[in-house]
Amino acid sequence: MGEENKVQMSLRVEFGFQRPRWMGLKALDATDGIRTGIVVAITATGLLLWPLSETDQQQTPNYALLVALWMGAVMAGLFRSHQIWTRLQSALSMAGSRRTENDEKIIARGLKELFIYLLLSLLILSVLAFVSGSPMVTALESIRLRGTEAERNLLHITIYCAFFAGSFLPILTAIARLAAAEAKLSKSPLFRTDVVSRNSLIMSFIAIGSILLLAWAAGAGFFSIDQDLGVIIYLVVIIAFLVFIIAPHLTRHLNQNEENRAARANTVAGGIARFAPEVWVSRLDSILVRLVAPLSGATQHGAPVPHLLVVGLILPLSAIGFVLSSPFGLIPIFLAMLIVIALGRRWAWVEADRETASRLQSTDFRKSQDIHIGFDNDLKDEALLGYVSFFVLVPLALFQIEQFSFAFDMEQSLASMPPTQQFYAWISFFGAELAKAVPFVDWWEIYQVEVNTPISVSDNVGNPTLAKHLTFAARALVDLVIMAALFQAFGIWQRSRAQQRLYDAGHINAFDPFTEQEFFERGIRYDAKQEKYLPKPSFQKRVEKHREAREALKLPAFPYSPRRLSELLNSPDADLKAGAEWMVSEYRVLAGPPAEQLSQLEEQWRQPRDFRDTYTRYRATSHPEKRAVAKLTIRNEKLKFERLLDDLIEAGANSNKWFALNQADTLLKLLEHISNFPEFVYAHSLAIDYLSERRGQFILLALASHTLTDTADVVAPAWRRQIMGKFN
């Protein structure tokens, strides 16, 4: 009966009924068929009940069919999104050690199927936009999605935009559910309020506002700069340096005033503070990071998959933005820009988590609410790949804006050219402005190199003020976004190299998560003959050099952080897991759950020539190096035992107070090992306090066995018999 119940439970889905598989279609099941039938029924009903007048019977059924098709496609996508999310949620809710192979496959698959539907939809829409109005396709000749204002059809474009928005609804729903589940699992808020501080927001507002104000004033002709340009730039640079010097001190003073004001504030003031601008800016940033950035596909698993999804999304959005009638083509262009900027913000969050994890020496976000995103992907490559798309998106945006604003001075021959050649001219114009914006590249002006483009900014043609503002925005985008990303990537590379040097010198014993992965992947190889993972000789030498360096610095001579090794033993990455297992075995490091570490430590101390023999041999000697070796050995074992007791206390605080008999027995044996060592007094008291808080019939006997002397046979023979019966 029990086995039958297990089989029944395994066949149940999220709605509680059994789902027989369809032969040959592993991705589909009975629930897919039921839901598809519902969608078809709703679509058919909508077509049958659509009200038609006698005059509109020729045209209205086409629009009714489009409305029904839109509803059916969106509902089918939402149904499938719900089903995929339900399976993914079930797999994510399982602890890493309890996940089955099928759970790992579901997690690795993630939302890739929904991204495939999105990319196919965008591909179909981009093809439709290109062939619409073409006489080569008779069925689509009447559709007007591009061309001038006289050539386009607003109703057609509205329907097209509705299908465009509908293609994002299923994947966006699943992303929102996944973000909420991740925030709940990490016990952190879905929308953070601490990303931007009030002082930094004020400083940014003043800086950006001043720049925009000066740009507006200059564009409107309120002032002009002639011979004094060099002097003004000279003063601006000096002021900028002074601001960077004074800003930290001013920020510290403002923070202190804010803390004093918050301490005096009452509950009403606290309620009003929730509506502070920095809180809403932080929430907006959280929306970009948690909901918009995953639309790029960069958060999906698999080596080439995130890169392909980013490119696969940007390309159709760019194509639609190119061909769609202005200004509607700006919708996909600005959406692509927003996704890229959100991806950059998520990358910044990951780097902040990376810095936090390197300080905590832990990547488990369940243990710290300061880790918000995690480390499934460092997003550096994906973010930089997205920023590269700005070199296409910005000229596209200028191309679209010019079609209705006529702000720039364009050659007359350019207006009669095909759109592809016009877009090439805009790339040439943006490239020339890029040369003026990028640092070091603008040296070409020193040699008076002239770049002639068919597009320029003129004071006599078009809308010179708008043209100047658009050119300024294009340059600022390069300076503030793209160059900042390159500098951040260079800073990450420098920080990773610094960590490598500090590890070799013995000053640190753990890397940040991404440098750690590179460290183990380079050091571990798979031996096909032995069919297992083995450390490379260079890796062994490097680890031993690190351990010797830590001994010279009088630091615990571990090959790597024991806490990180405990986490890496459960890593799904084969290289990381094999490297952790080798270090634990080779250097007798305690790793794994605290209960297992108890047994590991007792076995190490029970072996011949353990730390007690070392200390006994060298304690009486006058040789300074041997005495130093003995002291270092005792210190390492003392720190090892105290760390283990801390882990036991932390684990006990998060669980019930019951304690297994074998664990109590092992802990008593460890206390017997250190009974004559004064260095372990603190560890001894920690162990006794820990035992005193446990529950179980043998805990009292365990404490009695540790405190009673050999004369207990005469004083309390009954106690001795019970102790011997339990612990031998």
> Structural domain boundaries of the chain?
198-273
DSSP H helical ranges for 537-607: 537-552, 562-568, 574-586, 594-606
701: left (phi over 0), alpha (psi -120 to 50) or beta: alpha
Q: What is the largest CA-CA distance in the chain?
A: 115
- Enumerate the β-bridge partners of residue 409: 456
Nearest Cα to Cα of residue 107 among 363, 379, 376, 304: 376
pLDDT of residue 21: 40
Share of the chain above pLDDT 70, in %: 70
- Enumerate the β-bridge partners of residue 455: 410
Nearest Cα to Cα of residue 248 among 203, 217, 296: 203
- Give the whole-angstrom CA distance, residue 681 versus residue 256: 42
Q: Give 3-state DSSP helix, strand, coil % of the chain, rounded to 5.
A: 70, 0, 30
Tokens standing for 236?
């601006």
CA 460 to chain centre: 49
- Enumerate the β-bridge partners of residue 526: 533
- What 3-state DSSP class applies to 102? helix
Handedness of CA 63, 67, 73, 74 (dihedral sign): positive
Over the range 506-533, which residues count as b (16 or more CB within 10 Å of their CB) and which as e? bebbbbbbbbbbebbeebbeeeeeeeeb
Q: What is the mean pLDDT of residues 315-334?
A: 92
- What 3-state DSSP class applies to 455? strand
Per residue, the 3-state secondary structure of 462-504, as one string, reads: CCHHHHHHHHHHHHHHHHHHHHHHHHHHHHHHHHHHHHHHHHH
pLDDT at 45 over 80: no
pLDDT digits (tens, 9 = 90+) for 446-464: 666 666 777 888 777 778 8
pLDDT band at 29 (very low <50, low <70, confident <90, very high): low
Q: What is the mean pLDDT of residues 20-30?
A: 44
One-letter amino acid of 592 = G
pLDDT of residue 16: 36
pLDDT digits (tens, 9 = 90+) for 332-349: 999 999 999 999 889 888
pLDDT of residue 271: 43
Start-to-end C-alpha separation, the chain: 42
Q: What is the mean pLDDT of residues 488-513?
A: 84
- Enumerate the β-bridge partners of residue 533: 526
Q: Which residue has the higher pLDDT, 701 or 499?
A: 499
Contact 478/430 with Cβ under 8 angstroms?
A: no
- Give the whole-angstrom CA distance, residue 559 versus residue 576: 14
Nearest Cα to Cα of residue 196 among 188, 208, 204: 204
DSSP 8-state code for residue 695: B
Nearest Cα to Cα of residue 75 among 108, 45, 109, 110: 45
pLDDT digits (tens, 9 = 90+) for 567-611: 888 887 888 889 998 998 888 888 777 777 888 888 778 776 566
Q: What is the mean pLDDT of residues 58-74?
A: 71
pLDDT of residue 333: 94
pLDDT at 201 over 60: yes
pLDDT of residue 571: 82
Torsion on CA atoms 182, 185, 186, 189, rounded to nearest 10:
70
On average, the pLDDT of the chain sits at 76
Contact 379/347 with Cβ under 8 angstroms?
A: yes
- Give the whole-angstrom CA distance, residue 526 versus residue 531: 7
DSSP H helical ranges for 361-458: 380-388, 390-405, 412-415, 419-437
In the block, which residue shows the tokens 């930094």? 200
Q: How many CB atoms lie within 10 A of CB 438?
A: 15
Q: What is the mean pLDDT of residues 663-682?
A: 80
Task: Give the contacts of 304 (CB within 8 A, at least 6 positions apart).
Answer: none
The string of DSSP letters for 231-299 reads: HHHHHHHHHHHHHHHHHHHHHHHHHHHHHHHHHH--HHHHHHHTT-HHHHHHHHHHHIIIIIGGGGSTT
- Give the whole-angstrom CA distance, residue 84 versus residue 292: 19
Nearest Cα to Cα of residue 173 among 260, 266, 84, 303: 84
pLDDT of residue 272: 42
pLDDT band at 712 (very low <50, low <70, confident <90, very high): low
The top-scoring range by mean pLDDT among 66-80, 207-221, 265-279, 452-466 is: 66-80
pLDDT of residue 244: 63
Contact 89/174 with Cβ under 8 angstroms?
A: no
pLDDT of residue 92: 80
pLDDT digits (tens, 9 = 90+) for 356-379: 777 766 666 555 566 777 777 788
- Give the whole-angstrom CA distance, residue 448 versus residue 445: 5
Task: Give the contacts of 349 (CB within 8 A, at least 6 positions apart).
Answer: 289, 372, 373
pLDDT of residue 139: 65
